[in-house]
Every structure is written in structure tokens, then in C-alpha cells.
């Protein structure tokens, strides 16, 4: 829901940083892999209840995730890069949720499982729509060039990052935050299913 607004807000900064990285011969794929590796390290720290350090690395990981697309747009976007980016993003999101479950299984495991189901719904509906849209050669409707048709919703990357930040700042409230976000994911999934059925009827 907030991705378009966030993108417009940070795109000028990302573009300036991307120009410097391109000049240094840093590639989009390198940034994607670096962001994923940093994200996994963030999850390891969160699992050990080092929430502050985990949050710092989590934010750095998402900065790399934003920069890989900016660098790709200033060089040569590739299907491989788009595939790698979205695949590692979904793994990263799930790993962070798992990390909170490992940090306090008794308090967090059930809520984490519910949130992972929510992620499955939003992720599968997102990618299934993209596949069908590509088959029908539907045009991109979201701001910014993407490697695939980008279907929005109530819970996008910006909202997910916001909840992750809140979870790191108030880890004792993880279960409540996870249940709330799982509910929002369910609403997003239902809306996408309805939209998909209408679009592909």
C-alpha cells in the first residue's frame, strides 16, 4: 500500500548512491547477494535476542535491496537479476520471522507460524498474478520499472519492513504484532484473489 509513496520518497537518494556504485563497478547482483547475506546475519542476531544489532543489519540489508534495483536501472536490468531479487527477498522475510520464533519459542512460535502462512498467501498470490500477467502481456501499472508485473496490496515491502522494525524495537510484543500483520496479509491475499479472478476471467 505504501510502496509507491516510499519509492518516490527515497528514489532520488537511491539514484545518487547507485551512480557512485556503478562508477565503482558494483553490480546489481552483487548488491542483491550482499543484502541477502546481511539479512541472514540479522536473523541470526535476532534469534539470539540481539534485537538492536539485528535491526541495524536488517535495515542495511533493505538498503542493499533498494540499491540493487537502482543500479540495475542505471546499467542493464536482467531477468536473472529480477528472479534472484524476488526469490531471496521472500526467503529473507521468512527467515526473520523464524528468527523471532527461535528467540522465544514458547511466546512466539504460534504467532510466527500464522505469519508465515500469511506470507505464503501474499507471496503466492503476488507471483501467480505476475505469471498470468506476463502470459497475457499485461502492462506494468506500478511506478518504477520492474522485472515482472507488480501487484500491490495492503501489505507490501514497506509495511513488512515497518512491522519488522517494530518487532525489533518491542520484541516482547512480537506475538501481537505478528497476529495483526498475519491478519493484514490475509486481507491482502483475499483482495488479490478477487482481483486476479476478475482480471483473468
For residue 131, the domain's CATH number is: 1.20.120.1760
Question: For 42-75, how does the pLDDT look when each residue is reduced to its tens digit (9 = 90+)?
Answer: 999 999 999 999 999 999 999 999 999 899 999 8
Q: What per-residue confidence (pLDDT) applies to 4?
A: 62
- Looking at per-residue pLDDT, the higher value among 63 and 130 belongs to 63
Q: Is the pLDDT of residue 165 over 50?
A: yes
Number of domains in the chain: 1
Q: What percent of the chain is predicted at pLDDT more than 90?
A: 63
CA distance 149 to 152: 10
How far is Cα of residue 195 from the mean position of the Cα atoms in its chain? Answer: 21
Residue 95 has pLDDT above 90, yes or no: yes
Q: Is-contact 1 153, C-beta < 8 A?
A: yes
- In this prediction the pTM is 0.85
Of the two residues 180 and 143, the one the predictor is more confident about is 180
Q: Which domain holds residue 101?
A: 3-199
Amino acid at each position: 500500500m505504501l510502496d509507491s509513496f516510499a519509492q518516490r520518497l527515497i528514489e532520488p537518494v537511491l539514484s545518487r548512491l547507485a551512480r557512485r556504485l556503478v562508477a565503482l563497478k558494483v553490480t546489481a547482483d552483487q548488491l542483491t547477494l550482499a543484502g541477502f547475506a546481511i539479512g541472514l546475519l540479522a536473523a541470526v542476531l535476532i534469534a539470539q535476542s540481539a534485537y538492536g544489532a539485528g535491526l541495524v543489519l536488517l535495515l542495511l540489508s533493505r538498503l542493499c535491496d533498494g540499491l540493487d534495483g537502482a543500479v540495475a536501472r542505471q546499467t542493464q536490468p536482467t531477468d536473472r537479476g529480477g528472479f534472484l531479487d524476488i526469490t531471496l527477498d521472500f526467503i529473507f522475510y521468512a527467515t526473520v520471522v523464524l528468527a523471532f520464533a527461535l528467540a522465544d519459542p514458547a511466546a512466539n512460535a504460534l504467532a510466527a507460524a500464522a505469519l508465515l502462512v500469511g506470507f505464503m498467501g501474499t507471496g503466492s498470490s503476488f507471483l501467480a498474478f505476475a505469471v498470468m500477467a506476463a502470459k497475457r502481456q499485461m502492462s506494468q501499472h506500478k511506478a518504477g520499472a520492474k522485472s515482472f508485473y507488480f501487484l500491490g496490496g495492503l501489505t507490501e515491502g514497506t509495511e513488512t519492513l515497518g512491522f519488522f522494525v517494530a518487532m525489533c524495537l518491542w520484541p516482547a510484543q512480537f506475538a501481537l504484532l505478528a497476529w495483526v500483520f498475519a491478519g493484514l496479509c490475509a486481507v491482502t491475499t483475499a483482495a488479490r484473489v478477487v482481483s486476479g479472478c476478475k482480471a483473468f476471467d
